[in-house]
C-alpha cells in the first residue's frame, strides 16, 4: 500500500504523560481537529489487553475522521484492532517479515537514522520512513541527532515519503525546509500543549510551509 505524501504532513505520536483530566481518545480527537493527518499509538509499557483496548478506542476516533491509525511496534495489537498499519524500529522485525504478517493492504513505517538503513527499509517493503532524532528529544535520550544533510540525502535516496521526527516544535520546524520531507512527526509539541487543537493547527500550517 502506497501512502499519499499529504497523509504524512502532521504525524501525531501519542504519549499519555500529559493526559490530565482528558482521555487519550479525547486528546487525539483534538489533534485531528487541529490538523493531524495521521496518528500513531505508542505504548511501551501496557500489556496486550490494555494496549488493545486503547487502540480500539482510538480507532473509533480515527475512523470517524478518516485518518489512518498506526500502531507502534506491536503487530498483534495492530491486527486485533484492524489498525491501518504498523511502525517498527531498526531493532524490531524487518519490514518484509512485518508485511508477511499484516498483509499487502496495511501501511508499514520504519525508523531510520542512516541512508543505508533507509534504502534497505524501502527495499524490504516499507511504505514510509521516520527519520530522526532530528533535534534533541526527551522521548529518546540515547540517540545522536540526524543532521540536516543526512535527512536531505535520505529523502533523495528513497522514493517513499520521509517524516522527520525528534524534538520538532513550532520554533525549529522551519529549519527542515528544503530537506525533501513529506511531513513531521511530533509528540510533546502537540500533546504537552494546553490547547492541543490550536497547537496542532499551528504546526500543520508550519509543516505545509516546511515541506514546500
- Give the residue numbers annotated as catalytic, written as ranges: 42, 111, 140
Residue 124 is placed in which grid cell?
524490504
Produce one character per residue of 58-79: b if its CB has 16 or more CB atoms within 10 Å, e if not. bbebbeeeebbbbbbbbbebbe
CB contact at 8 A, 112 and 131: yes
How far is Cα 81 from Cα 112, in angstroms, rounded to an integer? 26
Concatenated DSSP letters of 32-101: HHHT--EEEE--SS--HHHHHHHHHHHHHHHHHTT--EEEES-HHHHHHTT-SEEEE-TTS--HHHHHHH
Amino acid at each position: 500500500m502506497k501512502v499519499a505524501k499529504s497523509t504524512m504532513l502532521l504525524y501525531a505520536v501519542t504519549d499519555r504523560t500529559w493526559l490530565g483530566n482528558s482521555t487519550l481518545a479525547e486528546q487525539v480527537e483534538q489533534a485531528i481537529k487541529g490538523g493531524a493527518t495521521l496518528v500513531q499509538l505508542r505504548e511501551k509499557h501496557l500489556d496486550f489487553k490494555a494496549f488493545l483496548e486503547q487502540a480500539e478506542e482510538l480507532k473509533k476516533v480515527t475512523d470517524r475522521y478518516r485518518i489512518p491509525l498506526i500502531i507502534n511496534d506491536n503487530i498483534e495489537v495492530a491486527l486485533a484492532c484492524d489498525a491501518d498499519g504498523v511502525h517498527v524500529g531498526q531493532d524490531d522485525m524487518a519490514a518484509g517479515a512485518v508485511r508477511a504478517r499484516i498483509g499487502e493492504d496495511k501501511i508499514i513505517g520504519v525508523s531510520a537514522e542512516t541512508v543505508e538503513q533507509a534504502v534497505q527499509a524501502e527495499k524490504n517493503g516499507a511504505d514510509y520512513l521516520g527519520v530522526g532524532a532530528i533535534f534533541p528529544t526527551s522521548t529518546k535520550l540515547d540517540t545522536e541527532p540526524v543532521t540536516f544533510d543526512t535527512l536531505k540525502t535520505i529523502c533523495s535516496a528513497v522514493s517513499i515519503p520521509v517524516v522527520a521526527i525528534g524534538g520538532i516544535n513550532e520554533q525549529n520546524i522551519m529549519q527542515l525546509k528544503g530537506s525533501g520531507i513529506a511531513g513531521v512527526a511530533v509528540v510533546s509539541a502537540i500533546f504537552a500543549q494546553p490547547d492541543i487543537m490550536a497547537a496542532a493547527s499551528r504546526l500543520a500550517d508550519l509543516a505545509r510551509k516546511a515541506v514546500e
